[in-house]
Structure 1
Amino acid sequence: MSLNIKPIADRVVVEAAPAEEKTAGGIIIPDTAKEKPQKGKVVAVGNGKKDEPLTVKVGDTVLYGKYAGTELSYEGAEYLIMRESDIYAIL
């Protein structure tokens, strides 16, 4: 998938994983009780800052803070744009 958004500096665009539909025990979770996902796939990266290259790349699956990033709707899809420092780990 090619995304026509080019983030600047140390920002990345993440496509959030869908929220869990049911618990491990099989209980279906209603939309109002679903947790915001904290995992997603990097779909675009900036060039990094001077002397600080980015460590994530397009295609990486990452974990990020629950309230990290700014929600962005683009061409009918939902994304988050955040600084690389908001990302906790690469899976």
Structure 2
Amino acid sequence: MADNVKATPLHDRVIVKPAKAEEKTAGGIIIPDTAKEKPLTGIVVAAGPGKKDEPVTVKSGDKVLFGKYAGTEFRYENQELLIMRESDILAIL
């Protein structure tokens, strides 16, 4: 489940905790750090209230799929997090 983050994003912004990168392939080969791909899924930690006429549709705890280069990485309370617009989220899984 999502960790308790005290930060509240503004407007249509969403804070997402990205999933861990894969350590091994299906065949058991260990992937080195330099070859790991950025994860495309994560858990919503916090969501803003939305725009004036468009409320945010995701909520804390939702597992989401987002674009490869979506969001801005930042560190908060010793956690690696992403902040992005709700429109950068492709699907709720």
Which whole-Å CA distance do the structure 2 matches of 1:25 and 1:89 have between them? 28
TM-score (norm: length of structure 2): 0.96
Separation in structure 2 between the aligned mates of residue 27 and residue 2 of structure 1, nearest angstrom: 34
Q: Secondary structure at the match of 2:87?
A: helix
Asked if 1:11 is matched to 2:13, the reply is: yes
Q: 2:49 aligns with which of 47, 50, 59?
A: 47
2:62 equivalent among 60, 63, 87: 60
| Alignment TM-score, normalising by the size of structure 1 | 0.98
Alpha-carbon distance in 1 for matches of 2:59, 2:79? 20
Shift of 1:73: 0.2
Q: CA deviation at 1:37?
A: 0.3
Specify every segment of 5 or more residues in structure 2 that has no aligned partner in the other structure, as ranges: none
RMSD over equivalenced CA pairs, Å: 0.6
Moved over 3 A (4+): none
CA deviation vs aligned residue, 1:23-58 (integer Å, no higher than 9, x gap)? 111111000000000000000000000111111000
Match for residue 83 of structure 2?
Answer: 81
> Counterpart in 2 of 1:25?
27
Rounded to whole Å, the distance in 2 between the matches of 1:2 and 1:58 is: 9
The whole-number CA distance in structure 2 between the counterparts of 1:20 and 1:69 is 20
